[in-house]
Each structure stands twice: as structure tokens, then as C-alpha cells.
Chain A
């Protein structure tokens, strides 16, 4: 390019003859005006955003004042609704109970003698094991609601049970519930009727507690859970001291041991995908997996979950209790048991599970990144649910009381009975 000759197409000296009249081309005008109109529209919309925010704030103050009013005297109507949502599944709509399975609350000697205070204790801590009500024997597991219901809510339920279902005159207020929570909030569930002896005077004879000796966990398990090994992190360092999980780390407490063991084996084999858990599972022996699974299955702990995904709880409840057959989704509880307590060995409890975990796993099933459910049942369900459905159901499940622990005798029976079904994943 050094020795270029001047270009033969020399530009005309009088170029741009229309310079004077061609000021600003009209497309420039058009575009500028169109953009300006668009901009004004955008800004008008944003100004409504300001109003939206203001409204919310007012609503908040209103909510707060209603809450304060409630604190004074428990709202029995609210108690009735809460009873229908949380208790009626087992105890019946009118608290009539189910013969041989769930003790009645209407006309129950336990409620009559203990009043709203005893109900509060039981609702908060849960109860498991042998129990006599009105002379009939029951042996069930009632979950602890302390971690999923507020003081106000418990006071409403307990007051409704005491005064609405029975003719006790005394209700219990939210501050009183708060006092009970301080003393007894984090205690284990009552050990059958015998456990209530200290709480209720003159309680008719109760069967002896048969609390299976939970026994000291093997040193190895304690080591794995609390400290980990040279290569593997401690389970509790992510899943929490009580196995309650957090965010996308799932709750493990009370899940069926065979289910837990299968998941660990799947992580080992790569049939379930999670880098951290694959790392952990590869560092565990089969024996350790079995022991850990039993450890967590027999663990009882409060719920560590609360709705946090802005899910529509009504829709969530519908999906959990009735399903949405128009998109081919049966109720969660059809397989995962009433109130999501789980059905061993294949159907884990889903109550009080961490919402981000549930929503994320449903999404992973939908996308195929997780594919280890029996018969691939969850894949179809995951695909049928859309984003807001996933969040709705995850949030609803997070609002439920946690599943009770499985006792060791039950676990032992399960282990011997359940054939390990390998290779039927997908």
C-alpha cells in the first residue's frame, strides 16, 4: 500500500448538494418519537409500582394490628379452621376420632382433665406410643406441631379443642402458649399415656411405656454424623444436628431407612446425581450406609422448614390432598401417606421437607437430572407440574408438621422384609 496512485474516481468538489435542506431525516424523528412514547408508557407503569409498594406497607400495619387483637383472646373460629386443616385428617371433623386408630378429642377424658393447657403441650410436642383415652387403647404417632404453628395458632387450636369440642370454659392465650414453648418447646414427643402423667392430674390408668430402648448409636455412626472421616464431611455439617435440613439440603429425620439407604447407594452408583453426595457416598461402606439410614430414620426432630417460595398454599394443598387429575397428577398423599408422613420403604415422608429441596427435586425430575424414583413415577409428575405448581406444593408441604420417628423394632422388621430391588431405577 505504499505506492498507491491517487484514485481515479476523484470526488466531486461540489459534493453533498442537498446538505442545506436535508436537516434531520424523518426516520430519525419517527424513531425518536416512538421511543419517547414508549418511555412515557414504561414510566407510567413504574409509577404504579410505587403505589403497589405503598399499599403493601399499609396492609402490613393492618395485619399487625389484627394480630395484636388476636393475642388478647383466641379466635375460636380461626381455631376451627386450623383444626380442620391440621387435625381433622386423623381425629375427624368433629374430633370424634377413629376407633382403634385415632383417639377422640370430643368428650375425651384427656382433654377434659388436662384442659387447653394439656392440649397445648401435646400439640406442641407430639405424642407417640401406647395411650388410653376413655378406656380404649390407642397406639399411634402424633407429630409435633410446635415448629409449624405459631403461638397464636396453637392457642386457637387448643382453645377450640377445649371449649368448642368439649365444654371446658377455659381457653388459653398466645402469651401462655409462648410460656409453655419456653419450657417444653424443644422436648421430645410424649412417651405414650404414661408420659402425660406429670402433666395431667388424676389421669386414668395408662399402659406402661414400652419405649424401645433407642440404645447408644454405634460409635462409628456418631463419628460419621458429627465429625466425618479423613475424606468425608460430617453429615450434620450440612443436614443439621437434628437432620432437619436447610434450603436444598433435605430433611432426613424420620425418612424410611430403606429409602435413605437406596439414595446413598444411588449416589454411589451415579444413578442419582449430586456431586457432594456422590463424594460422600463413595466414602461410605454398605454397613455404614445401613447404620446411617437407621440413625436418621429413628430420629425425631422439629420442622426446620417454612414456606419460602411464594407458592400458592391453596393450590399446594389441592395438589397434596386431591391432586390435579386434569394434568394427570394424583394427590401427593395418595402415595406419600396422609399428611405426607411417608409409607415405608419406598415412599419417603414429605411433610416438613425443605421447600427449596422439594421444588428443586421436582424440577430435576421434570428435566430428567434425577431419575431414580420407583417405576419412574416422579418423572411424569415432575413434568406435569409447572414452576408455580412446584413452588405451591413445596411450600404447602413445608407448612406441615414433621413426620414422627420410626422406632427401631419397626426398622428391624422392615430391613428383614424388604427385598432390595436393584436395577429397576428409571
Chain B
């Protein structure tokens, strides 16, 4: 009894704190009570005089000359991360495709325990979340942080140790899962014993990035930097708290599980994706972001609201009502940061549409940014109790998860890779046309995937809510949509293979860019 009343108070308190914080922030911005970032700050990413030319990925940019020292210093770390990320992308995609096939061809691979759906799907998730998206994001972080801070990346050796540890841990974890050794919580399947290696790897990233931030040569921390620096702090905390063995059990473990799982998306993958987009969109276009002050609202509202949305995965479940409502309310409040980010990024792109034609990486990144807006809107709506009744427990949720983690985060990171690699290696992409192919395979594949599962999921949910339909109906009606998902997934995987081919080929290509860069330096 006592505890219920206290919690009732706490509940109100939590939301009030968030609201107050947001109000103060907006008031402060409006009344210039604090130093709010403005257009000048937004130009931090540019050198003086820069910002009038599109930053072509395959053409030396005059700005690169000034930065070449910085880039050269971080390029090996970045390339290690990209190579590992793309490996896990391919590995994870293949497992995802196999798991998808198993759902409509259940007897296809039923001979071995390692290939059963429950394990293939888990390997897929861990590979793409921790192998691909996390490392891809870190590659972008290690590339962008030194650039926006105008200083060399510090402790690159430690970073490389981190990369090695992380990949060893991940490989061990994935093997463990395939062989049935798992912690059994979604997003936290890797056994905690192996998590120690991963945690050590993650820790190796924190110190160098903070050290780099400390030694920055600019006054203003550009918005990408907020997201990245907060993200690299948040993730290790989340990861360690969630994986402490013996502390969590029962329903409390479930709330912890979704606190973690959603925060991995909201406070780790999303900051990586948003931060990357915040850097590359204006950088490639050559203009600062539109209405830069809004980015402050976007960031802090994301931190305040996204951090408490996790329990919307347990709507209608055995958790206290207040807790669910808290997460529902915060989910809907996510409209605020998303709109802020959308205005920043989309208006910048929309007033420079010509750049989309010019730059393939920009096409990936701004497509991803649009998907972030859509995924977040969808997520807010999905968290409403009435909508959730239909969509929860169905493949609609899977479509939504892929809209966020794939169409948004992955596409942004792929664009970043296409932008970074030529600069980090000093080489051209050997098969530039394949980039376009990759883009369209992913977009079309994803569209097939998304609409199949969205429609199928809604029908599945409605069938399960209808007491007059036997459960079997919800399975039978879903089958064609599951087949559609495999088709879309196949196209997406094919796109990833093209990325991998390009990446391998660039490794064997002759250096070409450096000479041109030298020529330009000479010309200047």
C-alpha cells in the first residue's frame, strides 16, 4: 500500500521533471538565457571559406587538404571498424534471411539444432545490432569526432584493442547462442561470461573518445558530438547494468530487459544514426543545418523521453499500470525531439534537393534520416494502448523494428561508409555504379519487406483479437506475407553483398586520390 502511493507520486514526478526540463530549455532558447547554438555554431563543421561546394565522395574536396592530417590519423581505426561491421552485416543478413525462410518453409533446415529458427533469429539480431550497427556507428564516430573537434584521434592503439576484444567477444557470443548457450533475454542473449569481454572492449572506446573531446580545438561542440559523446557514455552503463548476473529476475527482469533493449535503440543506435546524419547532411551539401538551435531541443528531449519508453513493450502485461502509462506518455512525447530533428535535417535537404542527385552517400543518409522520422512517429502511435492491442505480438512490430534499425540506422551508416572509405583510404570506389544498385536494392527490398510485414502484422493482430477466429487463422493468413518478407530480405542481402564486393575491391585498388589531392594542394 505504502509503496503504491509513493510510486504514484514518483510517477507524476518523473513526467513533471521531464516537462519542466523541456519547458526551461525552450524558454531559455527563446529568451537567449543560455548560449544557444546558432548558425555560426552550425558552421563548425566547415573550414573558413568552405560551404559552397558539394562534398563529392569521389572527388577531392579542398577542405580535405586541411583535414588530411586528422583523417590520416583515424583512418586505420575507422577502416578496421568498417571491415568488421560489413562482415557482421553480411553474416547477420544471411542469418536473417535464413530465419525468414524458415518461417514459411519450416522443414527446410530442421535437421540441426544450430539452424533452428529460435537460434538463427537470435544470431541475426546480435550480429547486426552489435556487430554491424554498433561498429558501423563507431566507425562514423571515430571519423567524425576528430573532424568536428579539429584534433587527432587519441589512443588509437587502445581503440584497436577495443575492436579486437569486441569482435572476439561477439564471435564467441554468436557461437554460444548458436549452440544453445544463452542468457535468454531479448537483446541480451550473449552469456554474461562472454559479455565481460564485450564490456572490456566497449570500455576501450570510451577513454580515447573522451580524450579526443578534451583536446578539441574548437569552442563549440557540434550537435553530432553531443549525440556521440552521450551515446558512448550511455551504452557501457546500459550494457553493464543489464548484464550483471543474479540481480534481475521475474517481471523486474522483464522491465530491465526492455529498459535496456529500447535504450540500446534510443540511447545508442539512434544517437549514432542521428549524429552521423547531422554531420554528413550539411557536410555533403555544403551548407549548415537549417534552424540549428532546434537541435538542442532535439537532443535533450530525446534523452529525456526516449530513455523512459521501454515498457511500451509490456503494454497489457504483468507490470504496474503506472509504469506502462509512463512509457506510453513518454513514447508519445517523442514527437517533440523527432520533429525538431526532422526540421533540422529535412529542411536542409529539401532546400538543396539537387544534392541528392549528385551524391550517392547523401541519398543513403537522407533516406535514412527520413526513415528516422517515420519510424519514430510510427513508434509513438504504436505505443498507444488501442493501437498496441492490434500490433503487439505481431510481425507489425518486426516491420517497425526494421524501419528503425535498418531503414534508418543502417542506411545512414551505409551512406557514411560510402562517404568515409574513399577519404580514409585515398582511393576511389572501384564500382561506383554498384553503389546505386545497392541503394535501389535496399530501398525496394525494404519496401517489400516493410509493407508485407506491416499489412500481414495488422491482419494477424486483428485475427488474434477476434475470438471468433481460431488461432490457426492468424498463422495461415500470414504465410504469403512471410514469403514477401523473404523476398524483400533477399533483395536487401544482395545489396549488402554489393557493398562487401566494393569494399573488398577498394582494398585491392591502386591509390588514386592522394595524387590528385597533392595536385590540388600544389594548385592552391
Contact = CB atoms under 8 A, between A and B. Distances in A.
Interface of A: 1-2, 4, 6-7, 9-11, 13, 15-16, 19-20, 22-25, 27-29, 31-32, 35-36, 38-40, 42-43, 45-47, 49-50, 53-54, 57, 273, 275, 359-360, 363-364, 366-369, 382, 387, 390
Contacts of B59: 4
A367 B468 contact: yes
Contact of B354 (A9, A53, A382): A9
Interface string B323-343: 001101100110110011001
Contacts of A382: 468
Contacts of A275: 472
B287 A363 contact: no
Contacts of A40: 15
A329 to B, nearest CB: 16
A410 to B, nearest CB: 35
Contacts of B432: 1-2
A404 B177 CA distance: 55
A28 B328 contact: no
Contact of B8 (A4, A7, A50): A50
Given A23-B30, A23-B293, A28 B472 contact: no
Given A16-B39, A35-B332, A50-B322, 10 more contacts: A7-B358, A11-B285, A23-B30, A24-B30, A28-B294, A32-B22, A42-B325, A47-B11, A50-B4, A367-B467
B239 interface: no
A273 B328 CA distance: 40
Contacts of A273: 470
B235 interface: no
A1 B352 contact: no
Contact of A2 (B293, B333, B428): B428
A20 B332 contact: no
Contact of A36 (B1, B19, B360, B435): B19
A35 B377 CA distance: 13
A42 B322 CA distance: 10
Interface in B269-301: 285-288, 290-294, 297
B470 A16 contact: no
A7 B357 CA distance: 10
Given A28-B294, A43-B15, A47-B11, A53 B468 contact: no
A382 B319 CA distance: 34
A367 B436 CA distance: 50
Contacts of A45: 325
Contact of B26 (A32, A54, A57): A32
B208 to A, nearest CB: 34
A42 B328 contact: yes
Contact of A35 (B12, B52, B335, B470): B335
Nearest to B359: A1
A23 to B, nearest CB: 5
A54 B4 contact: yes
Contact of B288 (A9, A16, A23, A360): A16
Nearest to B58: A2
Given A32-B336, A42-B329, A20 B354 contact: no
A39 B56 CA distance: 45
B52 to A, nearest CB: 6
A343 B360 CA distance: 77
B38 A35 contact: no
Contact of A1 (B39, B286, B329, B360): B360
17 contacts: A1-B435, A1-B436, A6-B53, A13-B52, A16-B288, A19-B38, A19-B39, A28-B339, A35-B332, A35-B333, A38-B332, A39-B329, A43-B329, A47-B322, A275-B472, A366-B468, A367-B468
Nearest to B31: A23
B54 interface: yes
B5 A50 contact: yes
A4 B469 contact: no
Contacts of B33: none
Interface residues of chain A: helix, strand, loop or mixed (majority): helix
Given A23-B293, A273-B470, A6 B8 contact: no
Contact of B468 (A1, A42, A46, A364): A364
Nearest to B288: A16
Contacts of B200: none
A22 B291 contact: yes
Contact of A24 (B8, B29, B473): B29
A359 B468 CA distance: 10
B6 to A, nearest CB: 10
Nearest to B432: A1
A191 B216 CA distance: 96
B466 interface: yes
Contacts of B285: 11
B321 interface: yes
A24 B332 contact: no
A49 B332 contact: no
Contacts of B293: 23-24
A58 to B, nearest CB: 10
Contacts of A46: 11, 321-322, 325
10 A-B pairs closest in CB distance: A367-B468, A19-B39, A46-B325, A39-B329, A363-B467, A366-B468, A49-B321, A363-B468, A50-B8, A32-B336
B414 to A, nearest CB: 16
B24 to A, nearest CB: 13
B287 A25 contact: no
A4 B359 CA distance: 10
B358 A39 contact: no
A240 to B, nearest CB: 22
Nearest to B14: A43
A369 B1 contact: no
Contacts of A368: 468
Given A35-B335, A42-B325, A369 B39 contact: no
A25 to B, nearest CB: 7
A28 B321 contact: no
A45 B335 CA distance: 21
B335 A6 contact: no
Contacts of B472: 275
A382 B468 CA distance: 9
B332 A11 contact: no
Nearest to B469: A367
Interface string B1-28: 1001101100110010001001000100
B193 to A, nearest CB: 40
Contacts of B428: 2
Interface string B113-143: 0000000000000000000000000000000
Contacts of B288: 16
Contacts of A359: 467
A24 B321 contact: no
Contacts of A6: 53-54
